[in-house]
Amino acid sequence: MDLQPGTGPHKCRLLVVAGPDAGRSLVTDKERLTVGAHPENDLVLVEDRTASRHHFEIQFTGRGPLLVDLGSTNGTFLDGRRVERAYLSPASQVRAGSSVITFSPVTEDAGLSPEQDSKLCGMVGQSTKMRQIFGLIQRIAPMNVSVIIQGETGTGKELVARAIHELSERSKGPMVVLDCGAIPPNLIESELFGHEKGAFTGAVSGRPGAFERAHGGTIFLDELGELRLDLQPKLLRVLENREVRRVGGNDVIGVDCRVIAATNRDLLKEVASGNFREDLYFRLSVIHIPLPPLRQRRDDIPLILKRALAEPEVVERHGRKHFSSEAMGLLMAYAWPGNVRELMNVLSHVLTFSDGEELLPAHLPARVRGQAREGPLPFNEHLAFKDAKEQLLENFEREYITSVLGRCEGNLSRAARESGLHRKSIERLVKKYQLDAKGMKPR
């Protein structure tokens, strides 16, 4: 029996939370709306080449919003299950091609679009990509779902996690940060789940783990891709059962916290290579937020620096400062392998060595002054695009890390400070390119 559209207004929001069109959204009160790659759709998946031209539609019926597949090539999936017709509920997730779209009813005017803001909870950006991310953060923050934030070192993954926490209903609860890559392997289980007195040598008293301490709030698992494979099933059980058992203990302790994870790795590739559990990945990646590297949003650099120079503590210590056009040109041309963290380190360097109001090219570190040069990038045009891009990136990584380590005479900690990278990232690059850090000297 065909169901007829219902009567009366039905305002809803569709938000693309994963896929090449992530951040795209639609708020409408139409009784029948369509989604697909064709421009005539209400929500157009512009970048998703795996979405059909007319993929699915939503009809508002007397029984509620009805999802209908429109004969799509790859199918329509509701909360992980392929469907042809199914009713939606608030926070339902629909997958079309590579895109994941959340459905939610709108009961009141949403007001000003968050994409119009250039600052959110300490993050700064006026580029389209960052405004889309700001909008995505504001929309998903009230949802009590798990989030994975993916981005290179220094892109601001923890800032995104804190913004989600601060804008959520859990903001009055704690936010506990656990860096999975910085904790010794023999202590990570205890740090996650806690331990009882006598559980191991040195455990002179019981201690709650990160999940217990985050009860009522948010736990942020940084560098999730570094988590040992043997601990991943235990983490999955905690996520599914919402309870932990301390190391050396028998009691089960209930925990209630939102989980946000971050990684600089492509976890789907890690899954394919057997380094990360597929079930854990899909349990955590209800919402996936990809953060662009700074080199892909260079237009944000002047705004980031302007906001940083206007901070009261900076003005009080250094006075009013601004970059000359020549210096800003060099900053805009630099590749920023350490992203925003490296940019802030460079700003500290500049403020240390400048006296006047104007910040000049001479105040910039040599690596920033020396990289800007004209001419094409040295890539192999005979390779496929993806292979050429990977080769170019590897050549840059090898050259950059070799130069930094040589300048720092092989001191990994100093190289980490100068590059704006974590020491662990430096160690990983040294291992990746089989470099002899101890034997390196300035060029």
**Residue 44 · residue 36 · CB < 8 Å:** yes
Q: What is the pLDDT of residues 38-83, one digit of tens each?
A: 989 999 998 888 899 999 999 888 778 899 999 998 899 987 788 8
pLDDT at 176 over 60: yes
Which residue range forms the structural domain that includes residue 258? 116-197+207-290
Amino acid letter, residue 267: L
Provide the sign of the torsion angle of the four alpha carbons 34, 37, 41, 45, taken in this order: positive
Q: In this prediction, what percent of the chain has a pLDDT beyond 90?
A: 29
**Residue 57 · residue 35 · CB < 8 Å:** yes
Do 264 and 138 share a domain, yes or no?
yes
Q: Which helix (H) or strand (E) holds 359?
A: strand 358-359
Compute the chain's Rg from CA coordinates.
Answer: 25
pLDDT at 163 over 50: yes
> How far apart are alpha carbons 288 and 282 in whole angstroms?
10
Last residue of one domain, picked from the residues 319, 347, 371: 371
Collapsing DSSP states into helix, strand and coil, what is residue 91?
Answer: coil
Do 326 and 358 share a domain, yes or no?
yes
Q: Would you list the DSSP string of 155-216? A: S-HHHHHHHHHHTSTTTTS-EEEEETTTS-TTTHHHHHHEE-TTSSTT--S-EE-HHHHTTT
> 202-226: string of b/e by CB count within 10 Å (b at 16+)?
eeeeebbbbbbbbbebbbbbbbbbb
Q: Which residues share a beta bridge with 43?
A: 35
> How far apart are alpha carbons 258 and 33 in whole angstroms?
32
Q: Of 104 and 136, which is predicted with more confidence?
A: 136
Do 268 and 137 share a domain, yes or no?
yes
| Lowest pLDDT segment from 67-71, 109-113, 389-393 | 109-113
**pLDDT, mean of residues 406-420:** 80
Do 312 and 360 share a domain, yes or no?
yes
In-domain check, residue 45: yes
pLDDT number for residue 113: 46
Do 84 and 62 share a domain, yes or no?
yes
Name the pLDDT band for 383 (thresholds 50, 70, 90).
low
Do 244 and 322 share a domain, yes or no?
no
Count of domains for the chain: 4
Name the pLDDT band for 125 (thresholds 50, 70, 90).
confident
In-domain check, residue 213: yes
> How far apart are alpha carbons 335 and 345 in whole angstroms?
14
Last residue of one domain, picked from the residues 237, 262, 290: 290
In-domain check, residue 5: no
Do 122 and 219 share a domain, yes or no?
yes
Q: What is the pLDDT of residues 333-379, one digit of tens each?
A: 888 888 999 999 999 999 988 888 889 888 998 888 875 444 455 55
Last residue of one domain, picked from the residues 260, 290, 320: 290
**pLDDT, mean of residues 85-100:** 81
> How far apart are alpha carbons 350 and 361 in whole angstroms?
9
Do 279 and 316 share a domain, yes or no?
no
Q: Which helix (H) or strand (E) holds 303?
A: helix 301-309
Do 139 and 175 share a domain, yes or no?
yes
pLDDT number for residue 109: 36
In-domain check, residue 180: yes
pLDDT number for residue 439: 67
In-domain check, residue 376: no
> What number of helices (H) and strands (E) belong to the chain?
15, 24
CA 3 to chain centre: 41
Do 85 and 43 share a domain, yes or no?
yes
Q: Which two tokens stand for residue 120?
A: 């959110």
In-domain check, residue 57: yes
Do 363 and 390 share a domain, yes or no?
no
In-domain check, residue 409: yes
Give Cβ neighbours of residue 403 (< 8 Å, ≥ 6 apart): 367, 443
Do 74 and 122 share a domain, yes or no?
no
In-domain check, residue 7: no
* CATH number (domain holding residue 171): 3.40.50.300
